[in-house]
């Protein structure tokens, strides 16, 4: 139950982060946003370990580092495509596409990791995933395809595939006996190294840093805190259940993009949103 509630909180944070990142990326260089994103993640991961388990810093292991590195690198690479998608495409179009990754995770969790999931919860997770995919189809079907939007959609699809396997690799590490603090510690190292790499690139390219605004803080803060808590949800429950719930952030994103970015929500989109909410409540009750 706690992991499900954490997953819902992740969805809220990701929705807020995504809308404000899209708003902020209009006026900022995408690589600068990526640098802030990586730096923020490393600070969050290291800070959490420092507060909850400082002894973890003295237990560095190359074997554990290389166990988490593929998942961390996948997430880091995924963020490049994420920022490209929200900067190039219409948010209400690319968000459901990026959120469709549970269609991969549900089957990986149920059939490969052999997760112990009740059939009702499993089918509720399937319904959530299908509703997200349908939302994606409805949005792209009625949209004029400009070059920028096409690039955004391609980036969204690539992100969706990458994040699905990143989530699977992280869950596989937990199943294999590694701890949540291990995840935070080694993810923190990978993100810090990535932030340093991007910083060197920005300096070499002489790209100027932009003023940090409220949109920057809300966008990166919401996304980064959501990423941190997504590991908590994934660690504490079945991947095939929590990933569809976390992915319902696209529901909130569509409402926020409607109110903040003035994008429209169709009738059938609203039906999909209702299905997602009802199935989430079903998983919570059971």
Any residues with CB less than 8 A from the CB of 97 and at least 6 apart, and which?
A: 85, 136, 139, 140, 153, 156, 157, 160
Confidence at residue 27, expressed as pLDDT on a 0 to 100 scale: 59
Predicted TM-score (pTM) of the model is 0.84
Q: What is the CA radius of gyration of the chain?
A: 18
Residue ranges of the chain whose pLDDT lies below 70? 25-28, 89, 92, 117, 135-149, 257-266, 281, 283-286
Q: What whole-number distance in Å separates Cα of residue 99 and Cα of residue 269?
A: 14
**What's the confidence (pLDDT) of residue 283?**
66
DSSP assignment of 125-181, as one string?
HHHHHHHHHHHHHHHHHTS---HHHHHHHHHHHHHHHHHHHHHHHHHHHHHTT--HH
User: Which of 132, 187, 183 lies closest to 156, judged by CA?
Assistant: 132
Distance (Å, whole) CA 244 – CA 108: 13
Per-residue pLDDT tens digits for 212-233: 888 888 899 999 999 999 999 9
CA separation for the pair 232, 164 (Å, rounded): 17
> DSSP assignment of 98-123, as one string?
HTTTHHHHHHIIIIIS-----HHHHH
């Amino acid at each position: 139950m706690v992991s499900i509630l954490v997953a819902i909180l992740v969805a809220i944070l990701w929705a807020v982060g995504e809308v404000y990142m899209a708003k902020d990326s209009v006026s900022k260089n995408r690589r600068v946003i990526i640098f802030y994103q990586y730096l923020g993640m490393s600070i969050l991961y290291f800070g959490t370990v420092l507060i909850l388990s400082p002894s973890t810093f003295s237990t560095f292991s190359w074997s554990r580092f290389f166990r988490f590195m593929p998942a961390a690198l996948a997430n880091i690479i995924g963020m490049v495509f994420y920022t490209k998608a929200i900067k190039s495409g219409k948010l209400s179009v690319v968000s459901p596409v990026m959120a469709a990754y549970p269609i991969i995770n549900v089957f990986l969790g149920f059939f490969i990791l052999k997760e112990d999931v009740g059939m009702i919860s499993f089918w509720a997770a399937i319904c959530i995933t299908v509703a997200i995919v349908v939302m994606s189809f409805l949005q792209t079907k009625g949209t004029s395809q400009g070059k920028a939007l096409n690039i955004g959609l391609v980036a969204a699809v690539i992100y969706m595939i990458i994040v699905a396997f990143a989530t699977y690799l992280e869950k596989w590490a937990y199943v294999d006996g590694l701890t949540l603090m291990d995840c935070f510690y080694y993810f923190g190292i990978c993100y810090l190294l990535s932030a340093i790499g991007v910083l060197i690139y920005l300096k070499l390219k002489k790209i100027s840093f932009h003023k940090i605004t409220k949109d920057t803080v809300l966008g990166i803060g919401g996304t980064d805190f959501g990423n941190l808590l997504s590991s908590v949800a994934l660690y504490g429950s079945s991947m095939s259940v929590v990933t569809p719930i976390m992915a319902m952030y696209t529901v909130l994103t569509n409402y926020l993009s409607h109110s903040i970015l003035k994008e429209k929500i169709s009738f059938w989109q609203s039906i999909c949103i209702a299905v997602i909410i009802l199935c989430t409540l079903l998983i919570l009750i059971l």
